[in-house]
Amino acid sequence: MTPYPILLFDADNTLFNFDAGNRRAFSEVCRTYHLPDTDELFRTYEQANTEMWSAFDRGECTKDFLVVERFRLFLERAGLQADPVLCNSVHLDTLKTNTILLPHALEVCRTLAESHRLYIVTNAVAAVQKARLAASDIHPYICDAFISEEAGASKPSVAYFDYVFSRIPGITRENCLLIGDSPSSDLRGANNYGIPCCWYNPQGLARPQGLRIDYEIQDLLDLLPIVNP
């Protein structure tokens, strides 16, 4: 019998190739508002974006504030003129069409769906996640998706996982496994709630201090022997 019949997958950069979609969305913003589309400017945007998502993970801002403020910061630091609200609108609309999956994500979801129940646990923007998931090849294998906007709380908070647990029949802290790439939201969330976690770490980054990590994988295929021993 599998030790973890219920699997909780993060979405961005765990199943979906968010980095590729994010770069494409940035290019579309630049094309629409006649901004220079350079790797240097993209790195400036990414720095602002990362700062704001980190603030969100710490509970310091709302998602609605985050998605606009990241563009305001980017434009200010780059010395460019554009409306951050409109930039964000184009960015999110483009992300909705990004159904690019990470290597082996489809194979793993298809295989595991035969013996497990698969769920998405995500802090990303609800409209983006719903559109992408509905259009993606993994959609038939996902039982449900729990999005922080709809939960009224976000990873890594206990309140978010209370919401998830209230909606999955038969789930316990012992029979589920959270799989995600983010130490600050996925691993910290699993630690906060007392559930097992698997760090998807394709780049082989050093383990963060102060976090319990039950499993670590660099390829999604490595998840199979963990949940089907």
List the catalytic residues. Answer: 10
Contact 96, 131 (CB under 8 A): yes
3-state secondary structure of 198: strand
**Angle at CA 41, nearest 5°, toward 37 and 47?**
140
DSSP string, 32-96: HHT----HHHHHHHHHHHHHHHHHHHTTSS-HHHHHHHHHHHHHHHHT----HHHHHHHHHHHHT
